[in-house]
Amino acid sequence: MKPTLLILAAGMGSRFGGLKQITPVGPSGETIIEYSIFDAIRAGFGKVVFVIRESFADEFKERFDKKLFGKIDIEYVYQELDKLPDGYILPEGREKPWGTAHAIMMGKEAINEPFAALNADDFYGFEAFKTMSSFLQSSDSEAEYSMVGYQLRNTLSDFGTVSRGVCEADQNNYLSEIIERIKIYKKNSRIVYQDEQGNEVGLTGNEKVSMNIWGFKPNLFGYLEKEFTAFLDTQINVPKSEIYIPSVVFELIEKKQVSVKILEADSPWFGVTYKEDHPEVVKKIKQMVDDGIYPENLWNI
């Protein structure tokens, strides 16, 4: 059974034209999302499921359906603030989405097979999709998940600080801990982060970090529903509260309900964290096109 690709794109907003996720980066106007889908098709994924909002569904479909027709199956699911479990009512004035765990939960109605979940606005590279596809098609245990780990030095911006989940692994390369480091940046030839006291602490740059490309089995949806309900019991009236997929996954690890294999992939990662990053992303894509890694027009339309 071919795995599915779940793309978290509900945060793109209804004003479709000016957001970084759909800003062209390729020579024929391709977006970062399109490179992810192109790589996923080559890696053996059989379906793509977009998590979007109904308010921009027509625009989104118009942009992607023609390009992807006949190349990969497509489904759409909708993340809305009022999509809550029975018995829960959306608090008045709530505007912020409920977080990535809630977004992935929306895939339950469309996914019955192993799947990868990832951000819409990050470039992960073909090797990441190839490695993930191989894992999802070969892992028989419902209790075995995965994530692709990237070297920290390859995930930084030249234009500001970033936050990264630094991953610790056990002797078998299964995830044992995620430590959130904030305000990571380059300082001359060093990489540092600021601790809670504002002190600079050095990093090697070789640390494995999570860039939110996860491999899951369908049983995740049951866990997410349970965790989201527990979250709402205490946080529903906190206006900016969110439930993130890494925290849910790590709680499942601590309860010994799942294990998470850290996959190695010799792939570049880049994204548009700051507006100044965009020209550099365009430059990197162009170089890969020039090197023959990608065609000049992904879909030849």
- The contacts of residue 6 (CB under 8 Å, 6+ apart) are 48, 49, 51, 104, 107, 111, 115, 116, 117, 118
Bridge pairing between strands 4-8 and 115-119: parallel
- Domain extents for the chain? 4-148+210-243+261-290
What is the reported pLDDT for 157? 85
Q: Would you report the helix, strand and coil content of the chain in percent, each value rounded to 5?
A: 35, 25, 40
What is the reported pLDDT for 16? 36
- The contacts of residue 70 (CB under 8 Å, 6+ apart) are none
The superfamily (CATH) of domain 4-148+210-243+261-290 is: Spore Coat Polysaccharide Biosynthesis Protein SpsA; Chain A (3.90.550.10)
Cα distances (angstroms) measured from residue 10 to each of 52, 82, 89, 164, 276: 4, 14, 21, 22, 24
pLDDT of 188 strictly over 90: no
For the ranges 18-22, 28-32, 97-101, 113-117, the maximum mean pLDDT occurs at 113-117
| Nearest-5° Cα angle at 147, 145 to 150 | 165
For residue 115, give the H/E element and its range: strand 115-119
- Whether the model clears a pTM of 0.75, i.e. scores above it, the answer is yes
What is the reported pLDDT for 227? 96
- State pLDDT tens for residues 191-214: 999 988 889 999 999 999 999 999
What is the reported pLDDT for 8? 94
Taking each helix axis as running N to C, give the angle between helix 245-254 and helix 220-235, from 0 to 180 degrees, rounded to the nearest 10: 110
What is the reported pLDDT for 24? 87
Closest-CA residue to 226 (of 241, 243, 246):
243
